[in-house]
Amino acid sequence: MVSVRAVVNRVGPTLLHAVHLPADCPAVTDVVIAEPGAAGLGAGDLVLAVAVADVAGATELIRDSAEHDAAAVLLKPPLAGKPAIRRAAKRADIGLIEVHAATSWAQLVWLLRTVLDAIADESDTLENGDDAGASDLFRLADAVASVVDAPVTIEDTNSRVLAYSARQDVTDPARVATIMGRRIPDDVLARFRSRGVFRELTRGRQTIFVPGQRDGTLPRLIVPIRMGGELLGSMWAVVPGPVPDERAAAFADTAPVVALHLLRRRAHADVQRRASAELLRALLRGEVSPRKAVAELDLTDEPHRVVVVETPGGETLDGEGLRLALLERISQGIGRRPVATEEAGLLYAVVPDGEGPGTWPEIRSALAETPTGKGQLRAAAGGARDLTDLSRSRAEAEETLGLLRAGVLAGRVVCFDDVWTALVLHRAATAANGAHVTELGPLGTIRAYDTANGTGYVATLYEWLRHPGDPRTAATALRIHPNTLRYRMRKLLELVPLDLDDPDVRLALLAQLTALRWA
**Do residues 349 and 400 both lie within one domain?**
yes
**Do residues 332 and 251 both lie within one domain?**
no
pLDDT of residue 264: 73
Task: Compute the distance between CA of residue 367 and CA of residue 358 in angstroms, rounded to an integer.
Answer: 12
Phi, psi dihedrals of residue 389, rounded to the nearest 5°: -125, 30
Indicate which CATH number applies to the domain containing 106: 3.40.1390.20
Q: DSSP string of 110-147?
A: HHHHHHHHHHTTHHHHHHTT--TTHHHHHHHHHHHHHH
Task: Examine the fold and report which residue of 232, 264, 296 is the final residue of a domain before the chain moves on.
Answer: 264
Q: Is the dihedral of CA 27, 46, 268, 391 positive or negative?
A: negative
Average pLDDT over all residues of the chain: 82
**Do residues 395 and 498 both lie within one domain?**
no
**Do residues 115 and 152 both lie within one domain?**
no
Does residue 127 lie within any of the structural domains?
no
Indicate which CATH number applies to the domain containing 145: 3.30.450.40
In sequence order, the 6+-apart residues with CB closer than 8 A to the CB of 53 are none
**Do residues 402 and 463 both lie within one domain?**
no
Does residue 107 lie within any of the structural domains?
yes
pLDDT of residue 337: 59
**Do residues 100 and 186 both lie within one domain?**
no
Residue type, 466: R
pLDDT along the chain (519 residues), means of 10: 81 78 89 68 90 90 92 93 94 93 73 66 44 66 88 88 83 83 81 87 85 89 86 92 89 87 72 76 83 76 89 50 52 57 84 81 79 69 89 93 86 90 87 87 92 92 91 92 93 91 91 84
- On whether the CB atoms of residues 268 and 247 are closer than 8 A, the answer is no
Q: Is 229 left (phi over 0), alpha (psi -120 to 50) or beta?
A: left
pLDDT of residue 203: 80
Cross-sheet strand order for the sheet of 378-381? 339-343, 346-352, 304-310, 378-381, 413-415
Does residue 276 lie within any of the structural domains?
no
pLDDT of residue 14: 59
**Do residues 205 and 181 both lie within one domain?**
yes
196-245: pLDDT as tens digits: 888 888 887 789 999 998 888 899 999 999 887 778 899 999 999 999 98
Task: Compute the distance between CA of residue 29 and CA of residue 2 in angstroms, rounded to an integer.
Answer: 8
Cross-sheet strand order for the sheet of 152-156? 161-164, 152-156, 230-238, 220-227, 208-210
Cross-strand bridge partners of residue 321: none
Task: Compute the distance between CA of residue 144 and CA of residue 518 in angstroms, rounded to an integer.
Answer: 62
Nearest residue to 15 (alpha-carbon basis) of 173, 230, 181: 230
**Do residues 449 and 413 both lie within one domain?**
no
DSSP label of 319: S
**Do residues 54 and 173 both lie within one domain?**
no
By CB atoms closer than 10 A (0-12, 13-18, 19+), residue 242 is exposed
Indicate which CATH number applies to the domain containing 301: 3.30.70
**Do residues 318 and 380 both lie within one domain?**
yes
Nearest residue to 263 (alpha-carbon basis) of 1, 514, 12, 49: 12
**Do residues 232 and 196 both lie within one domain?**
yes
**Do residues 106 and 156 both lie within one domain?**
no
The number of folded domains in the chain is: 4
Which residue range(s) make up the domain with 32? 4-120
Does residue 323 lie within any of the structural domains?
yes
- On whether the CB atoms of residues 223 and 234 are closer than 8 A, the answer is yes
Does residue 31 lie within any of the structural domains?
yes
